Amino acid sequence: MKAAVTLLVVSLLCLSRALAQGQDGMVTHNQFGGEARSTPDIWTELMWLRDMVVEQRVQLVEQKVKLNYVRDELNNSNSRIVTLETENAALQNDVSALKRENSERAKVAFSAGLTDGGTTVLGPFNTDITLVFKNVLANIGHAYNPDTGLFTAPVRGLYYFRFTAAEGRTSHRVGVKLYHNSRLVLFNTDGVSSASWGYVHLSNALTIELQEGDVIYMKLAANCGLQDDHFYRNTFSGFLLFPM
């Protein structure tokens, strides 16, 4: 664009010089045969060139405005890119923090059956006895001890526990208790009449807050019995909902 303007300026200079020469050296003959000097229509050309220069200037201004607009848009885009990169970095940091928190959080869950399979009967006894669920199906965190039947909370938190109990012998009662440390929390019992057929099942569950080192365990109630088989009719399960 600047080259075009320069060319127009040079053209103007050339025409101005031609005008000067025409005024000094161009000769024509009049109707009487005499000589007379004439001036070419140079002013029309000059006006045309001037209009072209003005038009080129207008176009230059328009191009400059467009260039400034594109530059502003590019700057805005760069600013948005920087903002998005900053937000993405913050999100990545949050994700990394959540992953670290999750990896460091205690993972506690267990489930165990009363026996390893086959028909087994237990009780009745004349006193309560601690139930030891030996057939461990899962023991994440190793908080449950299959030798003692005790679950020991590894961290302070909110825990969920569930149990099932079954008895199939007629004229026997089924009854189990759940303890938190030395405190009785749940006691469920039912009877099997001589006229009934099959198993009587009990189940219950609770959510409880435990301190680190607290224990949860099950007891078979006095004068009650259990009957188990490979269908895992008698189970004890629990897991940590979240630490506190």
- Last-in-domain residue among 103, 120, 148: 103
Burial 114-147 (b: 16+ CB within 10 A, else e): bbeeeeeebbbeeebeebbbebeeebeeebbbee
**What's the whole-number mean pLDDT along residues 116-134?**
88
Residue 230 and residue 118 share a domain: yes
What was the pLDDT predicted at 26?
A: 45
Domain count, the chain: 2
Specify the residue for token string 């999100």. 91
In this predicted model, which residue has the larger pLDDT, 232 or 28?
232
128 pLDDT higher than 90: yes
193: containing domain: 109-243
- State if pTM tops 0.75: no
Note the pLDDT of residue 217.
98
Q: Which amino acid is at 164?
A: T
Looking at the structure, do residues 234 and 139 belong to the same domain, yes or no?
yes
User: Where does a domain end: 56, 71, 103?
Assistant: 103
Shared domain for 138 and 31, answered yes or no, is no
* Dihedral sign (CA 46, 51, 57, 63): negative
Q: Judge if 13 and 118 occupy the same domain.
A: no
Please indicate, yes or no, whether residues 93 and 119 belong to a single structural domain of this protein.
no
Q: Do 158 and 220 share a domain, yes or no?
A: yes
Residue 29 has pLDDT above 80, yes or no: no
Percent of all residues in the chain with a pLDDT value above 70, rounded to a whole number: 79
If asked whether residues 89 and 116 sit together in one domain, one would say no
87 or 185: which leads in pLDDT: 185
Question: The domain that contains 157 carries what CATH number?
Answer: 2.60.120.40
